[in-house]
Amino acid sequence: MSEMWINMGPQHPMTHGLWNLRVRIDGERILDVDPEMGYLHRGIEKISEDRHYNEVITLMDRTCYVAGIAWEHLYVQAAEKALGIAPTERSDWIRMMSEEFQRLASHIMWYAAFVQDLGLMSPFLYGMRDRDLILDLFQSYTGGRLTYEYMRVGGVRNDVPEGFTHRAREVLDWLEPRFVEYDRLCMGSDIFRRRCDDLGVLKANDCVRLGVTGPMLRSAGSKRDLRKDRPYSRYSQVEFDVATADSADVTGRYLVRMEEMRQSVRILRQVLDWLDSHPGPVLADHLPRWLGAPYAPIGREAYLLKRNYPKGVGLSAIEEPHGEACAYVVNEGGEHPYRVKFRSPVFANLSAAHHYLVGYHVADIPPIMGSVDVCVGEVDR
């Protein structure tokens, strides 16, 4: 068979979203790859310029559909910096809890999809089953299962309901033995190890050069985690370890994510204990009216001009489940942000596809791309 280009995508079981991986192959060997993104572009950054500060939060849930609340957290932090508002302490802890739950949900979702790419269906359903419990928890305090619209500039919408921490601990107790099960199905399987070892190798210096972050970077042995390196929210007050592996391959990424889930459970237990003993307000006072919902926004902007608005810019970076995400909000005075810009970790991770795909087999594309944990919503925004 001579060389040929094949299009994997935009609709392809491997892509997990809407993007196109053009692959030049010779038989089963990959000679060249060319990722094409942009099929899911919704102009979220541009739409944000026409929304109140709080209304942008509804877009954040749609940015990444498996890690909505992490993106809410990211944006809300940047907006708070731009507006000069500080969240209350309790709301900050609740945000941290939400982000860790989201990390769990996202990693479990990743696990389910990744193992299914290898042809193994049952972990997919185990993963979906266990993720559903976390979504249940989200529903019990945010009101949504996937699009939470929970955080607000200056805090969160509401406090967690009574008995929530108890239920959350139940779920964590259920999840921990499941991780052992997950490991048995994957790392305990000889076929899995043979498929994934030494696959999609991307060394640490290449990761840094290409802007690859998150579990991919940590799997190469680099201890880079924004939660530790630049603690935001209240991460400096909880104990956890940064999960790393040194093989820089698919197995390493698997191990890093599994360990991160365990660390998330560890963080969550501390956060739940804190929440039990520290009641308090969850929304800051002195919120300017022109933030928009939940307080009544105003109809016509022209009448606002008499106000003396604070101006500023806000930059925030968080360790999103997929990697390091960054938000930049420019507040030029006015009820809408002047400019919102996001840095998507998956975009960088995907763009480096050439460096970790070429030389492997066609059959290796699903596990390698699966180990990247693609979420096209945030790639294209």
Partner 1 sequence: MAAEVDTKKRAQGEGDQGLIVKPMYTAARQFMKSLVRPSTIVYPFERLEDPKFRGEVRVASGKPIGVGEVWDNYRGVHALNINTCISCNLCAFSCPDLCIDMVTVPGGDPKHPKKCPEIDYGKCSYCGFCSDACPEGCLTMTTRYELSVTKRSDMVYSPQKMFDQFQRKLPMNPIRLARPANEDAILLDAPLCIGCNACSRDCPTNCITMLDIPKGTPKPGEKPAKRIWKEPVINDSDCVRCGTCISVCPKECLFWGTHT
Partner 2 sequence: MALTTLWDVAYFLASALLTLVGRVIPPLAAPLSNGDVIWGLSALVFGAILLAASMINTIMLIWFERKMLGRFMDRRGAMHVGYAGLLQNFADGLKLFRKNTFKPREADELGFYAGPIAYMVTSLLMFGVLPISTGWSDGSLPLSMLLALVIFSFAPLFIFISAWSSNNKYSLMGGMRSAAQMIAYEVPILLAVVAVVLVSGSFDLNTIVAEQQNYWFWGPLVLAMVVFAIGMLAEMERIPFDLPEAEAELVEGWNTEYGGMLFAFFMLADYLRALAGSFLIVLLFLGGWTLPTYVPSALTTFPLAGIFWFLVKTYAVFGVFVWIRAALPRVRTDQLLRIGWMRMIPLSLAAVVLAAALVLVKCLPVFGCIPSMGG
Chain residues 227-266 in contact with partner 1, contact rule CB under 8 A: 241-246, 251-252, 255-256, 258-259, 262-263
- Neighbour-count burial for 363-378, b at 16+ CB within 10 Å, e otherwise: ebbbbbbbbbbbbbbb
Query: What dihedral angle (degrees, nearest 10) is formed by the CA atoms of 155, 318, 177, 199?
Result: 160
The contact pattern for partner 2, residues 21-40, with x = CB under 8 A and - = no contact, is -------x------------
Residue 194 binding partner 2, by CB under 8 A: yes
Both structure tokens of 116: 């299914």
Residue 6 binding partner 1, by CB under 8 A: no
Residue 365 binding partner 2, by CB under 8 A: yes
Size of the site for partner 1 (CB under 8 A): 78
Residue 13 binding partner 2, by CB under 8 A: yes
Name which of 39 and 295 has its Cβ closer to partner 2.
39
End-to-end CA distance of the chain: 39
Residue 75 binding partner 1, by CB under 8 A: no
**Binds partner 1 (CB under 8 A): choice among 200, 215, 292, 377:** 292
Residue 80 binding partner 1, by CB under 8 A: no
Name which of 12 and 228 has its Cβ closer to partner 1.
228
Chain residues 11-40 in contact with partner 1, contact rule CB under 8 A: none
Cβ of residue 245: shortest distance to partner 1, in angstroms?
5
Could you give the CA distance from residue 295 to residue 273 in angstroms, rounded to a whole number? 31
Both structure tokens of 109: 């979702």
Q: Which among 152, 13, 127, 19 has a CA at the least distance from the CA of 66?
A: 127
Element containing residue 156 per DSSP (H, E)? strand 155-156
319 close to 310: Cβ distance less than 8 angstroms? no
The contact pattern for partner 2, residues 96-135, with x = CB under 8 A and - = no contact, is -------------------xxxxxxxx-xxx--x------
Element containing residue 151 per DSSP (H, E)? strand 151-152
- Classify residue 146 by its DSSP letter: S
166 binds, among partner 2, partner 1, none (CB under 5 to 8 A by kind): none
**Binds partner 1 (CB under 8 A): choice among 158, 234, 311, 351:** 158
In terms of Cβ atoms closer than 10 Å to its own Cβ (0-12, 13-18, 19+), residue 320 is buried
Could you give the CA distance from residue 91 to residue 157 in angstroms, rounded to a whole number? 9
Residue 362 binding partner 1, by CB under 8 A: no
286 binds, among partner 1, partner 2, none (CB under 5 to 8 A by kind): partner 1
Residue 86 binding partner 2, by CB under 8 A: no
Tell the residue number behind the tokens 């960054």, with chain if given.
326
Backbone phi, then psi, for 231, in 5-degree steps?
-60, 125
Chain residues 267-286 in contact with partner 1, contact rule CB under 8 A: 283, 285-286
Phi-psi bin for 307: left (phi > 0), alpha (psi -120 to 50), beta? beta
Cβ of residue 122: shortest distance to partner 2, in angstroms?
4
Binding site for partner 2 (CB under 8 A): 1, 4, 6, 8, 12-14, 28, 115-122, 124-126, 129, 185, 189, 191-192, 194-195, 361-366
